[in-house]
Structure 1
């Protein structure tokens, strides 16, 4: 078979296997690196013999180098710099002091337990210094932990990669020179590579950022490709100046470009993220396919003990030393940091290249060191990756325990939501571009920021980093969706919800499955209408406890009928002191407390007599129309009216159109539970017919009235003597 065809098929198989592993991992909610390793080993020479990476020769080194540069750049581009100040001291210690701790601890364990020579043992220690964003980032997406923990893990994985890789190159130089290199040359070689890479990366990243912000000749279709070409160009230039300096260049360029606040940054990050997934998938499959299982099994028990010491002794010691001066991290967070340190693609790729170089120089131990590094990767990924969710729950460092809410929209509904969260002891911050609405919120004792919710600085100022809920409730459904999606992508809070128009919410199921943004509340009446109800004081704020057994089913059916009629808007559900915004498909468990708005229209005269009073605070109360459940009757087949003021008329007992109208009963206004209601003061002059009885039952069952004239007409009429 033609060599070109064979190489092409090798690449195709690697791509299919890599993407397949990503799909399986995403479906099973397991780190994809687990399946990348399995698929690569199965397709390798020792099992199925389909993939043979050695056929690429020197081309494999080129593929690895360019892919690693892209991976490190993407890590720097996605690193959230704004959260680093909270853990900056600990992060600095991990990249500097922590590197030395892992180097020395890993080297001593490999020598004394793994029985490796000192030179090869310290080479192993330098290779396992790095953790890697290719493993940490997917893990943090699946296991949402508290913000300081996530920032520290992600920052360490990005910044320590080039440092560890350059350190490994320096150690390899010492080995290749038979230890003739003096310590000063070792330190200077490390610092020179870091200095060249950092300087070139900063300059190149700034130039790329300026060209993207001020360009007049680049189309949107070319911007991402220009950045890709620029990064590889900077990487190649740094490698030309000093070997392995390009790794630091890639990371720093990504950090500087992220800090430049370039326009349309999200498409660039999405594009680079997709390329990184492809590169990681292909690399892991090919490198694991090249792994010799015989060399892996030949390591013996000493290798297992070496990895165990690295995981259970060196890593906890590293975290304890590096976070000693950080009083903001509690012992639970430090324990979780001690457990999570999976190794990734940088360790695998550098170890594979070093094995080739050592073999070419005739130095024994190349295959063994590669096997030990892969054993470390397999052990840390399987043990730490698969147990991370359980450990986070055990140590109670999950982000789902976060409290507080950020509400976009200072309209009456948004202010009410913020107040309800605040009354439960949680922080609540409102964001709106309407200065007058923000002032009204401040008058009500709420914290409001008059700015755009699309600004990351504003969201950070609002406390989205530590908030448990983010919800957008502006009157514009499109704005709500965009703002919520942006918040989910940039900050990833535990609960992201948006209020959509009723027609858009009905078609949002498919989009929600592909997005973290959920639809808030159950609305049959437009948001503008409920805001008007709140402004006009046409609502009451009610609560009810979800009952048990058969009563629960009747209660939920009754509440849903009121929702469908537009009489009730469920807001929040509280269970075990946790407050959550209601979602369409939410299952209200027995014992939960439901808070809702009840539409309680009042006549215009009562509003005039009340003098407006729009600032009167709604008080949570028990509403009998919701609390009292209708008795089940055979006549329940009568359909509820589609609108609150419509009459429910039985088709079998319909009153003929020629029948005389019943006399309108007189009404008087009374106050009950702080809300004005209407009571009948005299009965109708005609006897109640069966049809009217049926009509009254239907109206009571659905929370509507079936009187021939509205209460407003009965009171607001100028001829009514009781108006005074």
Structure 2
């Protein structure tokens, strides 16, 4: 018992360590997870998933994959497919079919794998996924249109590719048990039950959420329990229809009107990170090095076909009528790493096929893992120079993320936009976001440090963060997150002098050092008071005739410089204690306090 406990705790510790390492080196977490799993498993024999879980391994993997697919399906909104160009829609439809067919043919002819397993392999490797795409995009920084296509393809294609793999698997299982006519009937029953229960379960659950029948504090737990219940019930009624059921349920919930799924999605994302990390290490421990060696030289042909034939052909066919140029298509063709869904689904189906005695099913996992390793390693290392060679890297991010939607922040954001400085304003308060949108200011509604923001908020243009909200508990979280993401020297907050009277509410010393925006005493309360008394934000050009000293003297102490724009159009934030030399040709964005404002 103690040995099992130590093994389980070790998996958790290794998972967190791998996630942190991936976060620091800005590579997909799947890579260190895979390496660690292989080292502690087949190399050192320190961890054996089969020995650790025994007969429970199959249910644990099944339930974990069900949760991962449900969470992925919760992001599949039909409006997102329509709203993010024809290219995304085509890649997630006709592109999936092209990849499926090419990968199937390669596996069958190069490795002599039976047609049914080849079709299953082809379906599994159609997915990419945000867990591998987003870290790569942060490093590569491709131009915004290509980045958006890759980001949305990764989000949408996960549940679609997994659903295709589920359907192929259901057909294989049905064909094992019956003659051809009965196979089609059994297959139709499995798909039909999965769709019917998925639609019914998703709508019923969404209706309960819409009517507020489930207390808010129970929603996450209730949804998780009911989804797993639907998964088990579906499998009981029709063999192996549960994965299809939970995928459909997620899609229904994501597209129902007046059903808030953001809190549920955030909870499922956290749970999925835990499950993905632990599951991938456990699955990697089951890899047999001899099985990988036995795959044969034909795997090279399969890898070349997946990378150099399937993906480029998929992109080319999907691009018809989109107007993308050859450079954009070339970069899209090169970035398509496979992720955790491919690993989890391949392991799950391999276990299931082996349990029903399907001959040769154990070949699926090694070849899928080899595809994952090759695409992640090769493309992570080469995508940046390839993008540079194609001249498809975005310029250095010179925009700002402003956290906080106060009137002052909206005024500043609007003036920065007028000076051609990219800005996105984020807030967890809908009224503030709504007012910003009415002023045509780009916004993000929610916590910008969340996983949802990582998927939906475009940070390609934004290289600096101004934390200027009244949320004293949330501000440090935002600052810490973006310090790791974009760098400590690119995140600043307002001074917080008003907190000195309330020491129990003071923030950490580390964060306090970052609260250096503008000038001494310029707090959130000070700015709000100034704006309420009629302060304005203006941009003034400094010249040889009208120097910076003249500018300060003109307003008699009523001016607070905020942003300086030099003669090369680079912006500089005015920081407390920093002696910025403003030269002729520069522009200053400043807060001008009203003459009658009380001191």
Do 2:292 and 2:366's aligned partners in 1 also have CA atoms closer than 8 Å?
yes
Structure 1 gaps, min length 5: 546-554, 608-644, 646-724
Question: How do 1:310-709 residues align onto structure 2 when only pairs under 5 Å count?
Answer: 310-327=306-323, 329-356=324-351, 359=354, 364-391=359-386, 396=392, 398=394, 411=407, 414-415=410-411, 417-424=413-420, 448=439, 454=445, 468=461, 477-478=470-471, 500=494, 502-503=496-497, 521-522=518-519, 524-525=521-522, 526-528=526-528, 531=531, 535=535, 541-543=540-542, 568-574=560-566, 576-577=568-569, 579=571, 595-596=587-588
Q: Determine whether 1:280 maps to 2:279.
A: no
Call closer, same or farther: CA 1:383–1:297 in 2, change over 3 Å: same
Q: What secondary structure, in the 3-state scheme, does the structure 1 residue paired with 2:336 have?
A: coil
Do 2:170 and 2:241's aligned partners in 1 also have CA atoms closer than 8 Å?
no
Q: Determine whether 1:206 maps to 2:207.
A: no
Q: What secondary structure, in the 3-state scheme, does the structure 2 residue paired with 1:71 have?
A: helix
Compute the displacement of 1:603 (Å): 8.1
Q: What secondary structure, in the 3-state scheme, does the structure 2 residue paired with 1:113 have?
A: helix
Compute the displacement of 1:85 (Å): 1.6
- Structure 2 CA distance for aligned equivalents of residues 53 and 599 of structure 1: 62
Deviation per residue, 1:507-528 (Å, 9 max, x gap): 7787979xxx998655644324
Q: Which residue pairs with 2:61 in the alignment?
A: 64
With CA pairs under 8 Å and 6+ residues apart, which has the higher RCO, 1 or 2?
2
Do 1:467 and 1:493's aligned partners in 2 also have CA atoms closer than 8 Å?
no
- Name which of 4, 11, 17 aligns with 1:14: 11
- Structure 1 CA distance for aligned equivalents of residues 594 and 354 of structure 2: 88
- Structure 1 CA distance for aligned equivalents of residues 140 and 510 of structure 2: 22
Compute the displacement of 1:290 (Å): 0.7
- Structure 2 CA distance for aligned equivalents of residues 109 and 540 of structure 1: 61
Do 2:104 and 2:119's aligned partners in 1 also have CA atoms closer than 8 Å?
yes
With normalisation by structure 1, the TM-score equals 0.63
Deviation per residue, 1:214-271 (Å, 9 max, x gap): 33662x4322111110111122222223334322332332333344477875443332
Q: Determine whether 1:48 maps to 2:40.
A: no
Do 1:77 and 1:269's aligned partners in 2 also have CA atoms closer than 8 Å?
yes
- Structure 2 CA distance for aligned equivalents of residues 81 and 510 of structure 1: 45
Compute the displacement of 1:388 (Å): 4.3
Quick check: which has more Rg, 1 or 2? 1
Q: Determine whether 1:126 maps to 2:126.
A: no
- Structure 2 CA distance for aligned equivalents of residues 433 and 64 of structure 1: 39
- Structure 2 CA distance for aligned equivalents of residues 403 and 536 of structure 1: 22
Compute the displacement of 1:586 (Å): 9.5
Do 1:193 and 1:242's aligned partners in 2 also have CA atoms closer than 8 Å?
yes
- Structure 2 CA distance for aligned equivalents of residues 385 and 52 of structure 1: 29
Deviation per residue, 1:151-186 (Å, 9 max, x gap): 222211232222223224424654x469x637x966
Q: Which residue pairs with 2:450 in the alignment?
A: none
Q: What secondary structure, in the 3-state scheme, does the structure 1 residue paired with 2:180 have?
A: coil
- Structure 1 CA distance for aligned equivalents of residues 47 and 84 of structure 2: 43
- Structure 1 CA distance for aligned equivalents of residues 122 and 579 of structure 2: 51
Q: Which residue pairs with 1:636 in the alignment?
A: none
- Structure 2 CA distance for aligned equivalents of residues 354 and 379 of structure 1: 21
Structure 2 gaps, min length 5: 448-452, 501-505
- Structure 1 CA distance for aligned equivalents of residues 255 and 190 of structure 2: 23
Call closer, same or farther: CA 1:287–1:473 in 2, change over 3 Å: closer
Quick check: 308-317 or 9-18, which moved more? Answer: 9-18
How many positions carry a matched residue from both structures? 564
Q: What secondary structure, in the 3-state scheme, does the structure 1 residue paired with 2:588 have?
A: strand
- Structure 1 CA distance for aligned equivalents of residues 125 and 508 of structure 2: 44
Deviation per residue, 1:660-694 (Å, 9 max, x gap): xxxxxxxxxxxxxxxxxxxxxxxxxxxxxxxxxxx
Q: What secondary structure, in the 3-state scheme, does the structure 2 residue paired with 1:346 have?
A: helix
Compute the displacement of 1:64 (Å): 0.8
Quick check: 5-14 or 271-280, which moved more? Answer: 5-14
Q: Which residue pairs with 2:180 in the alignment?
A: 181
- Structure 1 CA distance for aligned equivalents of residues 233 and 183 of structure 2: 23
Do 1:113 and 1:302's aligned partners in 2 also have CA atoms closer than 8 Å?
yes
Deviation per residue, 1:343-393 (Å, 9 max, x gap): 233333343344445556665533333221211111112222444455555
Q: Which residue pairs with 1:289 in the alignment?
A: 285
Q: Which residue pairs with 1:31 in the alignment?
A: 28
Q: What secondary structure, in the 3-state scheme, does the structure 2 residue paired with 1:570 have?
A: strand
Task: Name whichever structure is richer in helix by fraction.
Answer: 2
Q: Determine whether 1:271 maps to 2:270.
A: no
- Cα RMSD between the aligned structures? 5.4
Compute the displacement of 1:577 (Å): 4.1
Compute the displacement of 1:288 (Å): 0.8
Q: Which residue pairs with 1:77 in the alignment?
A: 74
Compute the displacement of 1:281 (Å): 1.3
Q: What secondary structure, in the 3-state scheme, does the structure 2 residue paired with 1:106 have?
A: helix
Deviation per residue, 1:98-154 (Å, 9 max, x gap): 333223211222233334444543443233233345434555566666334312222
Do 2:199 and 2:249's aligned partners in 1 also have CA atoms closer than 8 Å?
yes
